[in-house]
Amino acid sequence: MSAGLVEREILVKNLDARPDRILSRKASDFPIPTGREEEWRYAPLARFGGLTTDAAPDVTIQFLARHESAVISRELTREDETTFKSLDRIGARAIENWKTGILIEIPANAEIASPIYVDVNTEKGLAFGHIVVRARENSKATLVIQYKGTGHAAVTLETQAASGAQLDLISLFDSARDAALVSEHELNIGKDALVRSLAVQLGGDVIRYTPRANFTQDHGQVEIYGGFLATNGQYIENRVLVDHNQSDCVSNVLFRGGGHGDKSHTVWVGDVLIREHATGTDTYEMNRNLLLDDGARADSVPNLEIETGDILRAGHASVTGRLDDDQLFYIQSRGIDAVTARRLVIEGFFADMFGEFKNPEVSALLAERLEETISMALKEQA
């Protein structure tokens, strides 16, 4: 770590009774959550195991990379300089306690045709890991991170997208049904760079995902997408923060979620901060939720904090609804059975999101896993 790196900073200075929002690399800067805090009020803390406490890790995470020869990948060590700071205690615990990690570097001016794959394999126990992605100047690549396995794990990720870089970052959360997985992503976007992030959340017992976008220069662009389906008691939480701290930057956030089965619970909180000097900002965030039966619950909280009026656009929206009975009736009137009709409607709800990512290999992988999850959920209902 660089000696000049500030360990803690105030991200948002509140003027009312609320505590300041901070970024830190030290877990001691964050109290152990009780569930009364705003950022933890939805979370079933007992199901996070030792991630939120002072429990020591007892297993390690295995990282496996597959890619073209032009891409550089190697084990991350404590001697490597990292800039990651966390919004909460779990992320700070991961930075303090990770034992294994991986570094992925895309060389300057390189266009990587095939997707870069990184498998993140967890095992029963408590573990922390860290990923560093460096997309050098004018590079172009697609990175797919697949989270698999069991246990209680927190994996943090920092992305440095240099000037002119284009990076598609796809995260597939596909752990075992008894797993608790927490992942915080820090996306640092340089001048004229474009980072498109997509998180698809299907497996696990508990998932908490926190993507945070930060512009290091002006004229950057970020698109943050998410698709999640909670079934039969799963808890899936997404907390997005886009910090517009440079001028003439663009951000778009779109998350689509589904809930099915008794006590399935999804949470989406979207925060966009437009600072006083971030003139020319163009931003929009949207969350759509589809509840498939009476046992599912969805909470959706979009937020905008604007400190300047000199912007192009700033908006947000949230919609939560149930399956359209008329749509289902129309499909069934064409000779399609009820289960297939429901599956087609649900797949259509998510389909256009995957279409934003043009790599056919990745799109096919995501569509296949989504279809399997939907079919399993409807089969259990039947």
Distances in whole angstroms, Cα of residue 254 to Cα of each of 226, 318, 350, 354:
6, 10, 11, 12
Q: Are 122 and 181 in contact (CB under 8 A)?
A: yes
Q: Are 179 and 122 in contact (CB under 8 A)?
A: yes
Reply yes or no on whether the pLDDT at 139 is more than 60.
yes
Instruction: For residue range 38-74, list pLDDT tens digits in order.
Output: 999 999 999 999 999 999 999 999 999 999 999 999 9
Q: What is the mean pLDDT of residues 211-233?
A: 95
Instruction: For residue range 284-314, list pLDDT tens digits in order.
Output: 999 999 998 888 999 999 999 999 999 999 9
**Which residue, 258, 269, 223, 262, is CA-closest to 348?**
258
**How far is 52 from 29, CA to CA, in rounded Å?**
13
Instruction: For residue range 241-297, list pLDDT tens digits in order.
Output: 999 999 999 999 999 999 988 899 999 999 999 999 999 999 999 999 999 888 899
Reply yes or no on whether the pLDDT at 350 is more than 90.
no
Reply yes or no on whether the pLDDT at 19 is more than 70.
no
Q: Are 98 and 63 in contact (CB under 8 A)?
A: no
Instruction: For residue range 82-92, list pLDDT tens digits in order.
Output: 889 999 999 99
pLDDT of residue 380: 66
Amino acid present at 238: N
Q: Are 249 and 219 in contact (CB under 8 A)?
A: yes
pLDDT of residue 1: 37
Q: Are 245 and 12 in contact (CB under 8 A)?
A: no
> The dihedral of CA 35, 39, 44, 49: what is its sign?
negative
Provide the 3-class DSSP secondary structure of residue 369. Answer: helix
pLDDT of residue 7: 67
pLDDT of residue 333: 84
Provide the 3-class DSSP secondary structure of residue 307. Answer: coil
Rg (CA), the chain: 20
Instruction: For residue range 194-208, list pLDDT tens digits in order.
Output: 999 999 999 999 999
Q: What is the mean pLDDT of residues 352-364?
A: 74
Q: What is the mean pLDDT of residues 93-109?
A: 97
**How far is 114 from 359, CA to CA, in rounded Å?**
9
CA atoms lying within 13 Å on the CB side of residue 33: 24
Residue found by looking up tokens 């030792």 in the block: 50
What percent of the chain is predicted at pLDDT more than 90?
A: 73
**How far is 130 from 154, CA to CA, in rounded Å?**
9
With 0-12 / 13-18 / 19 or more C-beta atoms within 10 angstroms meaning exposed / middle / buried, residue 23 is buried
Reply yes or no on whether the pLDDT at 105 is more than 50.
yes
